[in-house]
Amino acid sequence: MDRVLADFIQAVRGAQVRVSVAEALEAHEVVRVLGYGDREVLREGLGVTLAKTVDEKARFFAAFDRYFTAEAFADADHQDYLATDEGAIAPESESEASTLVEQLLRGDRAGLMSSLREAVREVGVSEMTLFTQRGVVMQRLTARMGLDRLDQELAQLERSGQGSSDRARRLREGRAYLIDQMKTFVQQQVALYTGASGEALREQALSERRLNKLEEDDIARMTELTQRLARRLARQHARRARRARRGQLDVRRTLRRNMGFDGELFNIHWRRIRVDRPRVVVICDVSRSVSDYTRFLLLFLHSLSEVMDRIRSFTFCADVVEVTDIFDEQPVATALEAAQAAAPVGPTDYGRTLAHLVERHLDAFTPRTTVLFLGDARNNLGDPRADLLKLIGQRSRHLIWLNPEPFVTWNTGDSIIATYQPLCHVVRECATLKQLEEAVNQMLRLTTRAV
């Protein structure tokens, strides 16, 4: 595969377009047939080969335009240097002047661009994986372009008393111009080749940030990331369900059953895994200290509806209210706000919440139900009614408590998590999107059992 196409495919992958080895080979065949002569034809041909979805096509065409658009050196900030060709100065000695010095003295933009592209290929800009490598690449590129010899030339002119000569002035202006163009060019290459890794780093940092510490600008990105993680988790769980239906060979039982046949396998035993579509009851504290976490838990769970049998949702503060109908009747984006606003406002009362859950909604808790309780267990010194939480746990298949507070603050002040913890199957900290994903994944795995 030629270097131009290989670098372009790397740039396309950097734009978060998935390109397999087979597709890369098909792209090579497209280039062999179409060639590089007609840019628009090549753009459409490679687009059909490499981009599979509408979003990927948009990212592909943007990457193609950035990669194959030959950027002439810009003129904006260096009009004095680029004003006219009359300012060009011929080198004093062709044998003594470096190629870079010659190009700068003559104002040879085409030659400078050609040299820069060659230097970029030799430095290996396309092999960058992180945007933080930009400084190292710039240093290598500076050395490869020969700026050291240019600086020596300027220093020699200063020592000989020619620092104010037209030649020195021309070289200083050309050097500043070249540095600016190199920075711009490297930034363009960084955007081409490190887009995916840079985005992955930002998303990783965001997923590990506490959900109540998000900036306003991060909310939209976090919402999109939450839905994407939920879809990924749904695909993983769907694959596990398909494998379970197919079954797995139980080698031990198969060999034991066929010992009387001299090792011939007449009786095959399959070990099957039962994967239930979980029925989930989620009960969320929407008081001020917990509401940010509630929003993302509800968003995550309702984005998993395709692998859930049913989700019943409750929110509470001073009292509890069922909000399942809100999610059934409204899009998730608007339902989140309405669900959080539905609970009566007042001091958080876990005891009253549990009492009203048992009194009004005891039928929601069955041997097929997994209960997710999200709250900091700070009860304002009220009666915790642990007996009612125990009843809910006994009636349910699993009771999982997610506490958004840091573990070191549990059981301090008015926290009653120590009272509730022995009554739950799982109690874990859940303050970041990463921890939320792990908790929901654990819940889904708890619905799997061998038969």
382 and 302 together in one domain? yes
pLDDT at 373: 93
pLDDT at 181: 77
Own/partner pairs for 359-365, CB < 8 Å, 24+ apart?
Answer: 361/312, 361/314, 361/322, 362/395, 364/281, 364/312, 365/281, 365/392, 365/395, 365/396
In a domain, 333, yes or no: yes
299 and 361 together in one domain? yes
With pLDDT > 70 as the criterion, what percentage of the chain qualifies? 81
In a domain, 16, yes or no: yes
Q: Element (H or E) spanning 351, and its range? A: helix 350-361
pLDDT at 70 over 70: no
Averaged pLDDT for residues 47-75:
77
426 and 348 together in one domain? yes
pLDDT at 207 over 90: no
In a domain, 323, yes or no: yes
Its sign, for the CA torsion 138, 144, 148, 151, is: negative
In a domain, 260, yes or no: yes
pLDDT at 72: 46
**In the beta sheet, which residues pair with residue 275?**
448
Alpha helices in 208-320 (DSSP H): 216-246, 251-257, 291-302
> Which range has the worst mean pLDDT, 50-54, 60-64, 177-181, 199-203?
199-203
One-character DSSP codes across 50-84: H--SHHHHHHHHHHHHHHHS--PPP-TT-HHHHS-
251 and 305 together in one domain? no
pLDDT at 85: 47
Q: Give the rounded distance of the alpha carbon of 403 from its chain centre.
A: 25
> Which range has the worst mean pLDDT, 14-23, 173-182, 194-203?
194-203
Q: Which range scores top for mean pLDDT: 59-68, 305-314, 334-343?
A: 334-343
pLDDT at 393: 93
Per the prediction, the chain carries an average pLDDT of 80
447 vs 91 pLDDT, higher one: 447
pLDDT at 387 over 80: yes
In a domain, 370, yes or no: yes
In a domain, 288, yes or no: yes
pLDDT at 81 over 60: no
> Which range has the worst mean pLDDT, 257-271, 343-357, 427-441?
257-271
Q: Which range scores top for mean pLDDT: 181-190, 256-265, 331-340?
A: 331-340
With pLDDT > 90 as the criterion, what percentage of the chain qualifies? 18
287 and 423 together in one domain? yes
Averaged pLDDT for residues 380-407:
92
315 and 413 together in one domain? yes
306 and 429 together in one domain? yes
Q: Element (H or E) spanning 428, and its range? A: strand 426-429
pLDDT band per the 50, 70, 90 thresholds, residue 351: very high
pLDDT band per the 50, 70, 90 thresholds, residue 194: low
pLDDT at 273: 61
In Å, what is the CA distance from 274 to each residue of 144, 233, 301, 314, 451? 62, 18, 22, 28, 6
Neighbours of 283 (CB within 10 A): 24
End position of a domain, from candidates 19, 50, 70: 70
- Token output for 232: 């990924």
pLDDT band per the 50, 70, 90 thresholds, residue 219: confident
The number of folded domains in the chain is 4
Three-state DSSP state, 314: strand
Q: What is the pTM of this model?
A: 0.60
426 and 309 together in one domain? yes
pLDDT at 400: 93
pLDDT at 236: 74
146: Cβ contacts below 8 Å, ≥ 6 apart = 98, 99, 100
Averaged pLDDT for residues 373-390:
91
Q: Which range scores top for mean pLDDT: 1-10, 272-281, 362-371?
A: 362-371
Report how far residue 278's alpha carbon sits from residue 428's, in angstroms, rounded to the nearest whole number: 20
Amino acid of residue 324: T
pLDDT at 93: 47
End position of a domain, from candidates 216, 251, 275: 275
311 and 354 together in one domain? yes
245-292: pLDDT as tens digits: 656 677 777 777 777 777 677 677 676 666 567 788 999 999 888 888
253 and 281 together in one domain? no
46 and 155 together in one domain? no
In a domain, 213, yes or no: no
pLDDT at 242: 63
Averaged pLDDT for residues 327-339:
86
298 and 337 together in one domain? yes
Structural domain containing residue 177: 106-201
> Which range has the worst mean pLDDT, 175-189, 212-226, 236-250, 429-443?
236-250
List for the chain the helix, strand, coil content (%; round to 5).
60, 10, 30
pLDDT at 374: 92
402: Cβ contacts below 8 Å, ≥ 6 apart = 293, 297, 372, 373, 374, 375, 428, 429, 430, 436, 439
pLDDT at 13: 81
Averaged pLDDT for residues 363-373:
91
User: Using alpha carbons only, how large is the chain's radius of gyration in Å?
Assistant: 32
CA proximity to 211, closest of 299, 282, 280 = 299
pLDDT at 200: 67
In a domain, 82, yes or no: no
Three-state DSSP state, 210: strand
366 vs 306 pLDDT, higher one: 366
One-character DSSP codes across 7-45: HHHHHHHHTT----HHHHHHHHHHHHHH-SS-HHHHHHH
Amino acid of residue 11: A
CATH number at 419 reads 3.40.50.410
Report how far residue 233's alpha carbon sits from residue 338's, in angstroms, rounded to the nearest whole number: 26
pLDDT at 84 over 50: no
pLDDT at 56: 86
Neighbours of 2 (CB within 10 A): 11
Name residue, tokens 């919440």: 353
